[in-house]
C-alpha cells in the first residue's frame, strides 16, 4: 500500500517540537482518525511517517491521514487528561471508545446536614426524605453513590426503611396525611407526617442512616448500644427496646449484605476480558463497605486502537515501531487504561481501584490530579479484595461470552433470513431492514413507527415516529401509505442515496438519522392489504418492489405461524416455527410494535389530559392549571364549564375565566 502525503503535512511534522502534547489525525472528509498523546511530539509523530507500513492496521490509518493538529502542554499528565477528553468528544476511528453513559443513579436524602429551625406542626423540611435520584447533583441535598444500577439504589432504600424507618413519600403527600400510611403499619416508616416522630429523633435516625451509608457501621452499633443502655438505666424500657430492635435489624442487614466493617469503604473493582476481537470491562462498586453490584461495558475499535497505540509507544520507547511485544502492553491493558481515563471524566472516583491488570502510574497520578482525590490502584490484591476481583473477573467472562453468543446468534439469523428470501447482499454486515407498524386506539392518536436493523442488531438511534394526520380515523392503509411516502419520497426524487438527517414534519421522539439509502428489506406489519398499499407507494415512487415483505398473522394469530407476503407477486412463504429467519422477523416486528404503541400512548395521554393547552393560555401557570384540573376533573371538564364556574376557582379572575372559556371553545 503506497502512502503519499503532501509536502505541507510532512513539513509540519518535521517542525514539531520535542515537547509533551496531544496530536490528532484527520482524513480527507475531516473525520478524526486518531487522538494520541506524547511526551515527545516530534519523536512520536515522526515515527508514523518514516516508512511504508504496507497493509497493516497502522498502514491503513496512516494512508488516510491528510491533516494534523497538535496541542503542546506542560506535562505528560496534562497530555493524558487532554487526550481522553478529546477522545470522548471526537470519537476517533482508531481509539478505544466506551459509550458515554453517565446516567448513574444516586440515593438522595433531601435537605442538608444543617438543622432546620423548629416550627409548630409537622413540616416536610424538618423530616428529610430518602429517594431514588438520577441526574446532576447539587448542594441542596445529600447524595450517596453513584450506584451501578437502579436495583442497587432501591435495595439500599429498603434497608434504610427497615432499619431507620425514614420516609419515602413526596412532600405533597406528607403535607396532606391525616393518619399513618401502610408503611408505618409494617414498620417501614416512623410516621412523622402525623406527629408520631419528633424532629429531634427523626434527625438522629437520618444521621445514623448517613453513617451507615458511609460505612461507619461499627461506630453506629456502638452508639446505638450506648443509647440503649442509657435508656435502660433510666428505666425507659420502651425507648431501650426500640433501640434494641434497631440494632437487631442493622445486624441482620450487615450479615445478609456481607458488609466489610474493617476497611475498603469505597472501592471500584475493574476486571477486563478480551476475546474474539471484542472486550468487556466489568465494573463492580463497593460503597460504604457494601458490595452494590456491577455493570459491564463493551468498548469498540479494540484491536485497531491497541495496534496503533502500541506502535506509537514502541517508537517513543526506542523499540522497533509497531512491535507490541517491545512495548510490552497486552490488549487488556490498553482497554483497562482507556476505560479508567474515559469513565472517570465527570464521575466521582473512589480512593481505591482494584484492577485485573497493572495500569500505568502516570494514569493514576493524572486521575488524582484531575479529581482532587488521592487514588491508589492495586492489581494483585489479597483476602477480601482478591475475592471481589475474582467475582468481577468471572462476571466479565460471563458477560463477554453472552455478547459473543448473542452476536453469533444474530449473525446466523440474518444469514438465515437472507437465504430464505433468496437475497444476495454484497455485505451481510451491512444488510439493512426497516420495519413499519401503525398504532392507535379506535382511530385516536394514530402513530406510525419505523425501526431499523443492520449490523446484526437494532439501532434505536435511527428509529423514527410519525404522527399521522389528515386520514379517516382507524384507516390503517391510509396511515401506511402516508408513512411510506414520507419516509422514501425524498430518496426517490433525488435518484441517489442522500442523507436523511432532518426529521420530516410530524416526526415524534426517537427520530434519529435514518434512511441513508434504500434498505435491503422493508417489513410491514400486515398481510395482503398493507403490502398492496406499500406496493402502490413504491410503484408511484419508482422504487424496487422486491424489497417489500409483509408479516401476516397465522391461523388464530398464534406466534410462530406467521407467513411472509411479497409485493412482487411471489407466493407466500411460511418459514417454520423454529426457523432462525422467522425469529429475526418476529424480533424486528415486535420492536416496531413496541415503539409504535409507546409513542401512541404518550400522544393519546397528552390529548386526553390536554397537554399544555391550559398553560398555553397567558396567565395560566402550573398552580392555576392544577387547581382547574382538580376542580373540574380534567381539561374536558374545564372546557364544558361556564365563565362563572371557572371564575370561582381560587386565583382565577373573571377576565382570565373569560379568556379560558374562549380558548377552550
According to the model, what pLDDT value does residue 655 have? 86
What CATH number corresponds to the domain at position 626?
1.10.150.20
* Residue 246 within a domain: no
* Residue 279 within a domain: yes
Is the same domain home to 334 and 456? no
According to the model, what pLDDT value does residue 604 have? 55
What CATH number corresponds to the domain at position 34?
3.40.1440.10
d(CA 440, CA 477): 13
Is the same domain home to 360 and 499? no
DSSP letter assigned to residue 441: E
Nearest CA to 374 out of 357, 352, 359, 341 is that of: 352
Question: 181 vs 185, 197, 209, 661, CA distance in Å?
Answer: 7, 14, 21, 40
- The residue segments making up the domain with residue 438 are 428-607
According to the model, what pLDDT value does residue 26 have? 92
Is the same domain home to 626 and 571? no
In the beta sheet, which residues pair with residue 452?
434
Q: Which of 362, 384, 400 is where one domain is finished?
A: 400
d(CA 594, CA 465): 12
CB 448 within 8 A of CB 479: yes
Is the same domain home to 589 and 614? no
Q: Which of 55, 73, 90 is where one domain is finished?
A: 90
Is the same domain home to 622 and 590? no
Question: The whole model's pTM is what?
Answer: 0.62
* Residue 575 within a domain: yes
Provide the grid cell at 330.
497486552
Provide the grid cell at 187.
414498620
* Residue 113 within a domain: no
Is the same domain home to 274 and 348? yes
Provide the grid cell at 287.
460503597
What CATH number corresponds to the domain at position 381?
3.30.420
Reduced to 3 states (helix: H, G, I; strand: E, B; else coil), residue 555 is helix
Reduced to 3 states (helix: H, G, I; strand: E, B; else coil), residue 265 is coil
Is the same domain home to 468 and 520? yes
CB 608 within 8 A of CB 452: no
Reduced to 3 states (helix: H, G, I; strand: E, B; else coil), residue 285 is strand
d(CA 552, CA 377): 58
CB 95 within 8 A of CB 85: no
What residues of the chain score a pLDDT lower than 70? 1-3, 54-55, 100-103, 113-122, 217-218, 231, 243, 246, 249-264, 314-328, 441-445, 494-516, 555-560, 600-613, 615-616, 665
Prior bond of 146 cis (ω within 30°): yes
Is the same domain home to 591 and 623? no
The helix, strand and coil proportions of the chain, stated in percent and rounded to the nearest 5, come to: 45, 15, 35
- DSSP H or E segment with residue 601: helix 580-609
| Phi, psi angle pair for 480, to nearest 5° | -65, -40
* Residue 184 within a domain: no
How many domains would you assign to the chain?
Answer: 4
Provide the grid cell at 510.
426517537
422-429: long-range contacts, CB 8 A cutoff, minimum separation 24:
423/520, 423/521, 425/520, 429/454, 429/455, 429/456
At which residue does the C-alpha cell 490498553 appear?
Answer: 334
* Residue 244 within a domain: no
* Residue 231 within a domain: no
Is the same domain home to 391 and 446? no
Is the same domain home to 516 and 638? no
Is the same domain home to 594 and 492? yes
* Residue 207 within a domain: no
Is the same domain home to 524 and 432? yes
Amino acid at each position: 500500500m503506497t502512502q503519499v502525503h503532501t509536502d505541507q503535512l510532512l513539513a509540519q511534522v518535521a517542525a514539531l517540537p520535542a515537547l509533551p502534547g496531544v496530536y490528532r489525525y484527520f482524513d480527507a472528509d475531516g473525520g478524526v482518525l486518531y487522538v494520541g498523546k506524547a511526551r515527545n511530539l516530534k519523536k512520536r509523530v515522526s515515527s508514523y511517517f518514516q516508512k511504508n507500513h504496507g497493509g497493516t492496521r497502522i498502514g491503513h490509518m496512516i494512508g488516510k491521514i491528510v491533516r494534523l493538529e497538535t496541542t503542546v502542554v506542560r506535562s505528560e499528565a496534562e497530555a493524558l487528561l487532554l487526550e481522553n477528553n478529546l477522545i470522548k468528544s471526537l470519537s476517533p476511528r482508531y481509539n478505544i471508545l466506551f459509550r458515554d453513559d453517565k446516567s448513574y443513579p444516586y440515593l438522595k436524602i433531601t435537605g442538608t446536614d444543617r438543622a432546620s429551625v423548629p416550627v409548630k406542626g409537622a413540616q416536610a423540611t424538618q423530616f428529610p426524605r430518602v429517594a431514588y435520584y438520577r441526574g446532576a447533583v447539587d448542594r441542596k441535598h445529600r447524595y450517596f453513590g453513584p450506584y451501578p444500577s437502579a436495583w442497587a439504589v432501591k435495595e439500599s432504600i429498603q434497608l434504610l426503611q427497615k432499619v431507620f424507618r425514614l420516609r419515602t413519600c413526596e412532600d405533597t403527600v406528607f403535607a396532606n396525611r391525616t393518619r399513618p400510611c401502610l408503611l408505618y403499619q409494617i414498620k417501614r416508616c416512623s410516621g412523622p407526617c402525623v406527629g408520631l416522630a419528633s424532629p429531634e429523633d427523626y434527625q438522629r435516625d437520618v444521621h445514623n442512616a448517613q453513617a451507615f451509608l458511609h460505612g461507619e457501621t461499627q461506630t453506629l452499633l456502638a452508639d446505638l448500644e450506648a443509647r440503649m443502655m442509657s435508656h435502660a438505666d433510666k428505666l425507659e424500657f420502651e425507648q431501650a427496646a426500640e433501640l434494641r430492635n434497631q440494632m437487631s435489624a442493622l445486624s441482620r442487614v450487615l450479615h445478609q449484605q456481607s458488609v466489610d466493617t474493617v476497611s475498603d469503604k469505597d472501592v471500584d473493582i475493574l476486571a477486563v476480558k478480551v476475546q474474539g476481537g471484542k472486550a468487556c470491562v466489568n465494573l463492580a462498586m463497593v460503597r460504604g463497605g457494601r458490595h452494590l453490584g456491577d455493570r459491564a461495558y463493551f468498548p469498540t475499535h479494540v484491536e485497531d486502537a491497541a495496534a496503533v497505540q502500541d506502535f506509537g509507544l514502541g517508537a517513543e520507547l526506542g523499540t522497533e515501531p509497531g512491535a507490541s511485544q517491545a512495548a510490552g502492553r497486552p490488549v487488556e491493558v490498553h482497554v483497562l487504561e482507556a476505560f479508567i481515563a474515559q469513565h472517570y471524566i465527570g464521575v466521582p472516583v473512589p480512593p481505591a481501584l482494584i484492577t485485573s491488570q497493572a495500569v500505568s502510574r502516570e494514569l493514576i497520578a493524572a486521575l488524582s490530579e484531575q479529581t482532587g482525590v488521592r487514588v491508589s490502584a492495586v492489581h494483585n490484591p489479597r483476602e477480601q479484595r482478591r475475592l471481589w476481583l475474582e467475582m468481577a473477573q468471572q462476571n466479565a467472562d460471563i458477560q463477554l461470552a453472552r455478547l459473543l453468543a448473542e452476536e453469533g446468534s444474530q449473525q446466523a439469523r440474518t444469514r438465515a433470513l437472507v437465504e430464505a428470501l433468496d437475497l444476495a447482499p454484497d455485505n451481510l454486515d451491512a444488510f439493512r431492514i426497516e420495519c413499519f407498524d401503525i398504532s392507535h386506539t379506535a382511530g385516536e392518536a394514530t402513530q406510525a413507527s419505523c425501526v431499523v436493523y443492520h449490523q446484526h442488531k437494532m439501532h434505536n438511534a435511527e428509529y423514527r415516529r410519525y404522527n399521522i394526520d389528515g386520514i379517516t380515523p382507524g384507516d390503517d392503509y391510509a396511515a401506511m401509505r402516508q408513512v411510506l411516502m414520507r419516509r422514501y419520497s425524498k430518496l426517490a426524487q433525488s435518484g441517489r442515496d442522500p442523507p436523511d438527517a432532518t426529521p420530516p414534519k410530524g416526526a415524534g421522539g426517537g427520530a434519529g438519522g435514518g434512511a441513508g439509502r434504500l434498505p435491503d428489506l422493508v417489513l410491514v406489519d400486515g398481510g395482503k392489504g398493507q403490502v398492496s398499499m406499500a406496493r402502490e407507494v413504491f410503484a408511484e415512487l419508482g422504487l424496487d418492489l422486491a424489497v417489500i415483505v409483509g408479516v401476516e398473522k397465522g391461523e388464530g394469530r398464534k406466534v410462530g405461524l406467521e407467513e411472509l407476503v411479497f409485493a412482487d407477486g411471489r407466493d407466500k412463504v411460511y418459514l417454520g416455527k423454529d426457523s432462525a429467519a422467522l425469529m429475526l422477523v418476529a424480533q424486528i416486528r415486535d420492536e416496531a410494535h413496541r415503539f409504535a404503541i409507546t409513542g401512541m400512548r404518550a400522544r393519546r395521554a397528552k390529548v386526553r389530559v390536554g397537554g399544555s393547552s391550559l398553560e398555553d393560555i397567558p396567565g395560566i401557570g402550573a398552580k392555576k392549571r392544577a387547581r382547574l384540573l382538580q376542580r373540574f376533573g380534567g381539561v374536558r371538564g374545564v372546557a364544558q364549564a361556564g365563565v362563572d364556574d371557572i371564575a370561582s376557582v381560587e386565583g382565577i379572575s373573571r377576565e382570565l375565566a373569560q379568556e379560558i372559556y374562549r380558548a377552550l371553545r
